[in-house]
Every structure is written in C-alpha cells, then in structure tokens.
Amino acid sequence: MPSDKAELAARIASLQPGDSIRGLIFKSVFGLVQQHAGAIGMEKLRTGELDHDYAELRSYPAREFLTLMFNAADLLEGTFGSAEGVFHACGEVSITRYSTGPGMLVFGIISRGDPQKLFAGAQMAYSAAVSYGNREYLTTGPKSGTLRMRRDMMPPAYHVGILTGSLKVLGLTGKATAKAQGIDRVDYDIQWS
C-alpha cells in the first residue's frame, strides 16, 4: 500500500520557512534505498526535487527530506512490511552509521556509555543535524526516560528508529514508544537493559 500522501501533505504544511536537515541524513536514506532496491530503486527515487547531489554538511529543506522518506516508503514497504517500518529503518540507519570510526568517538564523548547522558544531550545532537524543533529529556528511572519533541514534523516511527538505534550503538537493547500529542508534538518513552 502506498505511503499516506495526506499525512505527507500535513507534515509539509507544519513546516516553517528555513526548516532544514543536513545532507548526511539524506545520504543515510539514499544508502538504505541503494542497499535494498539497488540502482533501479535509486533511479525511481532521484526525481523531481530529489534529483541533485547532497553534500553531507550542507543543509537542505526539510520538505525534501519528508518527500524522500515517503517516497522511500513506497519503494521499500515490501522489504520492511509497512511505511512505518521503512521510517523506523530510515531513523535507525541515520544513527547506526556511527557505530564505527569517528562517529563512535563522538557518541562515546557525548554519552560516556550512559544512555541517560546521551538522551539528555538530545537537543544538542539534533541541533547539529536539523534547524527546527525542541527536545527535552526527563529521566523516569535508572534505565528509562521520556524524550519530549516539539515542532518536529517527522513521522514518530523515524524517531523511534533513531532512539533504538542509539541504544544499539551503545551495545544495549531497548525500546521506544511514541505517544503523539499532535502532528509535530510527540513524547517518546525509552527503556533499555
């Protein structure tokens, strides 16, 4: 079943002028599509506003990224089971790409291996990749917390993928549950072991 274009339109409508995302996040999703749909999938994906090169450290309109994710969902739904499964995979790959090399060093410096410290730094980490939104982390237990995201229009499954991917990078298992308060306001309950 194709991704929900009405949802895409609503998410795009919630954007403000200047909302942008770094090219490295786009490149993570392109890599996922290349891995699972090959050159033919990339050809289908790289049309219209997505038909240009993306530099990792340059910022691009958030509208383009939403379009990219929903188009990727149309291509990869058979592989991941649903559009939400694709969004989750897109979020996870944007983090797990840092499981080795210099990215892991940065992860280690920010978190010192402690998920509480990692998630407490979510506003700083997200601000390095996107120009929009607010994030606040609240510790709810020794191995749990809630990350509140406001003015972030990405599908909740995308952020669930980022959060569970972050735990994987730290060598932990866990889950994140999204509690939507609105299209651009979601609380994520995170637990790990």
pLDDT digits (tens, 9 = 90+) for 17-68: 999 999 999 999 999 999 999 999 999 999 999 999 999 999 999 999 999 9
Question: DSSP secondary structure string, 30-87?
Answer: HHHHHHHHHHHHHHHHS-GGG-S---TTSEEEHHHHHHHHHHHHHHHHHHHSSHHHHH
- The pTM for the full model equals 0.94
The CATH number of the structural domain formed by 102-192 is: 3.90.1520.10
User: HSE-up of 67 (CA within 13 Å, CB side)?
Assistant: 16
The pLDDT score that the predictor gives to residue 96 is: 85
CATH 3.90.1520.10 occupies which residues in the chain? 102-192
Does the pLDDT at position 100 exceed 70?
A: no
Alpha-carbon distance of 12 to 2, in angstroms, equals 18
**From the CA atom positions of the chain, what is the Rg in Å?**
16
Three-state SS for 183?
Answer: coil
